[in-house]
Amino acid sequence: MAATKLPGDAVAFERVPLPKRFCNLERLLFALEARGLDGIVATLPYNVFYLTGFKAIAHKADEPRPYAVIVSRHAPERPILVVADYYLATFLKQPTWVEDVRPFRAVMMPLDLPPRKEDIDRFIPGNRTKVAWVERARRSYTFDMGTAVRGALRDLKLDCGRVAFDDMGAGFRLGVEGMQVGDGYDPLMFARAVKTQAELRLLERSTRLNETAIRRTMASWQKGATWRDLNRAYAAAVTDLGGFVRDPGAMVWGHPRGADATLTLATGLEDDEVTSGTHVTFDCHGTIDLYCWDGGKTWVVEGEPEGGAKLFAKATAQVGEALLDAMRPGAKISELQACARQVYRRAGVPDAASAVIFFHGLGLSHMDIEQTLADGRPNGDWVLEENMVAPVHLLYPGGEHERIWLEEVVHVTKDGGRALFSWGFEPLVA
């Protein structure tokens, strides 16, 4: 196959090895101490990636997880990563800060032959057998995952401690008699909520990709195009740029016809025509290097806001500006919502109470916020912290020629929010 040259705007999104460590380890350790936990075991794919940089190809979410990372609060620089033998060579391409990688004999090895220590050699390139961490991995090779994880817990002196698991079922199935199993969801989400500088760069890149793909999608529209055509155009643009979207599609909002102002989400089955003057509410999801993008804003097909929509668009832009200034460490979500609604009222919209205003975290998921605080209280009205990334969602509802949508991805700083999109708060027109 002949090599093809990437288009100019795709070069910016070429994938390269990630930093060896980009997780907020210090914040995770703080969360463990606050909850009286000695360590944590992560087996969920995004958490394993977050802690180690390891992305497992060809693995689906509901399959048995052939990997685990074990971190002790008392020896945080000595984590242990357990992986299926066929994944071992991955770390020759994407390095990790975890120096103790322990492979185990997995599904590719035959059941009709006795297991041998030499089986691991099938998965090690011949010119890498003298690499120090590879040699250690060869010596630690075991014949099943449970043995490998229990050995790691024992070596880190966690087998008699209080250990959190992001999947508590995995902890109970291990059957380690002296170990107390705790819930690891919130400690990891607490860590993931505040981004490292490496994560901020990844989120900036993912947002740029989304913005580029939306502009390509707009340019592809022709008379007679349907919502299905628009979804396909967006997915094709994303793929061409090097990103990924999920089935059934990446464009999240549904688009009721006529004067219907109902809030609906897309199903992937919509195939009505996207006619001139339609207000398309771009709320697009996808990933590159597993870091999410989100958002977009209103595009008025072959036109610009008319009638009442002019006021709704101007008011929504004013709300966006006010929220950027208000999104500082210490602000509560309810306070931000009240601030936004007051700006809508001052702008003179007919029904400020009908405006939809909400926030969530963004990173490896569209949450990245702990649900329960260390003291057991629910974290519904959460508080912004410096270096969180929180999308702002603003929808003034209306029919297909009135609705106005704005979703900005915001980096929280002590001086206010920093918008990651480059295109401002006014609708996209023409």
Closest CA to 414 of 314, 325, 289: 325
Nearest-angstrom CA–CA distance, 45 and 97:
17
**pLDDT (0 to 100) of residue 1:** 39
Domain 195-429 is of which CATH architecture?
A: Alpha-Beta Complex (3.90)
In CATH terms, 25-192 corresponds, of 3.70.10.10, 3.40.350.10, 1.10.10.10, 3.90.700.10, to 3.40.350.10
**Span 119-144, pLDDT tens digits:** 999 999 987 668 899 999 999 999 99
Are 341 and 326 in contact by the 8 Å Cβ rule? The answer is: no
Q: Which long-range contacts (CB under 8 A, 24 or more apart) does 217-226 make?
A: 217/282, 218/299, 218/428, 221/274, 221/301, 223/276, 224/273, 225/273, 225/274, 226/270, 226/271, 226/272, 226/273, 226/274
Q: Do domains 25-192 and 195-429 have the same CATH topology?
A: no
Per-residue burial over 380-419, b = 16 or more CB atoms within 10 Å of its CB, e = otherwise:
eebebeebbbbbbbbbbbbebbbbbbbbbbbbbeeeebeb
Write phi, then psi, for 70 (nearest 5 degrees).
Answer: -120, 125
**Span 322-354, pLDDT tens digits:** 999 999 999 999 999 999 999 999 999 999 999
pTM score > 0.85 for this model?
yes
- Rounded to the nearest integer, the mean pLDDT of the chain is 96
**pLDDT (0 to 100) of residue 10:** 67
**pLDDT (0 to 100) of residue 8:** 60
**Span 44-84, pLDDT tens digits:** 999 999 999 999 999 988 899 999 999 999 999 999 999 99
DSSP letter for 253, please: B
Residue 2 confidence (pLDDT) above 50: no
- The domain limits of the chain are 25-192, 195-429
Nearest-angstrom CA–CA distance, 249 and 291:
17
**Span 250-302, pLDDT tens digits:** 999 999 999 999 999 999 999 999 999 999 999 999 999 999 999 999 999 99
